[in-house]
């Protein structure tokens, strides 16, 4: 069978669904790459653990190429804000070709790790001096093409970024390539909406409260563009952000957002790290997603999300790799749990009831929230959904003698050996025996792009 051939029928020894593992489950894949009912034919037997691929609900693709370049101590205390200056300097050198090379490499790495969908929070719109490219959507097109090359499903979230702080100051020279006024932003959305397909979904991203002037806010959130599809926003990531919001707007960020927008299940509040008890309860009641990126939040010194209280309120979570200092749903979920253990000095925090599995609780919750944030037909091997799934390596010693009660916990907590052996997206194998079908070419181009970027 060719690595890129469409497979029509499967029988999985163990298949994950929302209620847990199901043994000897069968399913078919139609010519559109969607899950179909099994009608005839001899299925290919998958003697492994088969899971729906995880959505990655928060990505800044270009930051993959700067991972590891901001880990030297500066002359004063380092923080998110000093890291941001390094990021701005790096972003200034990225053009459409370089972005495509970086993103394709990133997306290959995501697939090999078990992510089969990515929500790209995209604010690198213009040339470094802030002037639009001859084709204003050039940077967005680079991301769409990179996703096509890799074979990953994409929710593209072009970002509205208007001001440099809560006080409405103009964008700094390093921020100008991010900026749009409202009319040009809506024109960009209209152009990109024509490119939606089975593989590409368009949503909306508001960079943050500090990046949208208060006088512009109402017109933006009440626009037609925000009435359908997913809406993502950075919020309450840093204590300094919370303090500035209180000083200028008289309320905490999440509190202010709920006062000034009809936040519902279409919204994804990325990070939402610093919440009061009342904000935590309000976010949970709204049905919106808390988009958590534990490895990036740790790398930037953001703080810890109030996970236990939020889960007890039936809040929705999802995970993302954000700045891509790690590209692994295993590590995101592991450190989501471990951060809570370090803070509370208790174990098995995410499992809220006796006998619950931490791994199953986190995978189930993050899969649900990721699907909601992506707004695509993904996340389960049910009729009509995209055939996006990962197959774990049943030959690995880490899964030896594991049964349905222990497999997920072993996958997430038993070591650092990669366990994702095969990956299928929209009915096509993109990873076989740990190797992406086009990884050599994509990696070679990435290395060349990095050499150009370094010498620029």
Annotated catalytic residues are: 271, 322
CA 250 – CA 214 distance, rounded (Å): 12
If phi > 0 it is left, if psi is from -120 to 50 it is alpha, else beta; for residue 55 that is beta
Closest by CA to 53, choosing from 288, 395, 302, 374, is 374
- The three-class DSSP label of residue 406 is coil
The β-bridge relationship of strands 289-292 and 20-29 is unpaired
Q: How far apart are CA 390 and CA 182, in angstroms?
A: 40
Q: What is the Cα–Cα distance from 9 to 14, expressed in whole angstroms?
A: 15
- Sign of the Cα torsion 347, 348, 349, 353 reads negative
Element holding 102 (H helix, E strand): helix 96-113
The DSSP symbol for 209 reads: G
Burial class (CB within 10 angstroms; exposed 0-12, middle 13-18, buried 19+) of 127? middle
Per-residue buried b or exposed e for 256-279, using 16+ beta carbons within 10 Å of the residue's own CB = bbbeebebeebbbbbbbbbbeeeb
Q: Are strands 9-17 and 20-29 parallel, antiparallel or unpaired?
A: antiparallel
Written as one string, the DSSP assignment of 257-275 is HHHHS---TTEEEEE--S-
Q: Which runs of E-coded beta strand occur in 172-274?
A: 200-202, 204-206, 231-235, 267-271
**Edge-to-edge order in the sheet of strand 35-36:** 35-36, 20-29, 9-17, 44-52, 389-392, 420-425, 428-432, 435-436
427: left (phi over 0), alpha (psi -120 to 50) or beta: left
274: CB partners within 8 A, 6+ apart: 236, 237, 238, 239, 242, 252, 303
Q: What angle do CA 49, 54, 56 make, to 5 degrees?
A: 160
Total residue count of the chain as it appears in this document:
456
What is residue 319's three-state secondary structure?
strand
| Phi-psi region at 74: left, alpha or beta (left = phi > 0; alpha = psi -120 to 50) | beta
């Amino acid at each position: 069978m060719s690595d890129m051939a469409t497979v029509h029928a499967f029988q999985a020894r163990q298949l994950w669904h929302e209620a847990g593992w199901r043994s000897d489950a069968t399913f078919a894949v139609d010519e559109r790459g969607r899950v179909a009912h099994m009608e005839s034919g001899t299925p290919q037997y998958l003697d492994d653990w088969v899971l729906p691929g995880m959505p990655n609900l928060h990505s800044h693709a270009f930051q993959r190429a700067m991972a590891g370049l901001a880990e030297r101590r500066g002359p004063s205390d380092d923080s998110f804000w000093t890291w941001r200056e390094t990021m701005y300097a790096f972003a200034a050198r990225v053009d459409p070709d370089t972005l495509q090379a970086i993103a394709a490499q990133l997306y290959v790495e995501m697939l090999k790790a078990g992510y089969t969908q990515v929500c790209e929070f995209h604010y690198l719109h213009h040339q470094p001096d802030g002037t639009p490219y001859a084709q204003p959507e050039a940077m967005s097109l680079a991301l769409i093409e990179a996703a096509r090359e890799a074979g990953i499903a994409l929710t593209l979230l072009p970002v509205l970024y208007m001001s440099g702080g809560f006080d409405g100051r103009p964008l700094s020279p390093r921020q100008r390539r991010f900026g749009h006024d409202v009319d040009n932003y809506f024109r960009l959305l209209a152009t990109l909406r024509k490119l939606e397909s089975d593989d590409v979904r368009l949503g909306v991203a508001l960079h943050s409260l500090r990046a949208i002037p208060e006088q512009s806010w109402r017109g933006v959130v009440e626009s037609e563009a925000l009435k359908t599809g997913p809406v993502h926003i950075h919020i309450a990531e840093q204590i300094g952000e919370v303090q500035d919001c209180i000083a200028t707007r008289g309320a905490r960020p999440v509190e202010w957002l709920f006062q000034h927008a009809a936040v519902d299940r279409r919204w994804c509040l990325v990070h939402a790290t610093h919440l009061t008890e009342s904000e935590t309860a309000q976010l949970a009641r709204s049905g919106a997603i808390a988009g958590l990126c534990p490895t990036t939040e740790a790398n930037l010194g953001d703080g810890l999300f109030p996970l236990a209280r939020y889960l007890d309120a039936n809040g929705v979570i999802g995970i993302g790799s954000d700045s891509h200092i790690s590209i692994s749903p295993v590590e995101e979920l592991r450190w989501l749990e471990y951060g809570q253990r370090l803070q509370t000095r208790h174990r098995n925090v995410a499992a809220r009831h006796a006998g619950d599995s931490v791994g199953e609780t986190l995978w189930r919750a993050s899969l649900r929230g990721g699907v909601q944030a992506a707004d695509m037909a993904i996340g389960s091997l049910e009729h009509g959904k995209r055939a996006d799934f990962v197959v774990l390596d049943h030959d690995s010693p880490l899964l030896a003698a594991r049964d349905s009660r222990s497999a997920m916990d072993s996958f997430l907590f038993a070591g650092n050996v990669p366990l994702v052996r095969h990956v299928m997206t929209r009915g096509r194998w993109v990873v076989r025996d740990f190797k992406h079908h086009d990884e050599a070419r994509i990696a070679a181009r990435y290395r060349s792009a990095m050499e150009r970027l370094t010498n620029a």
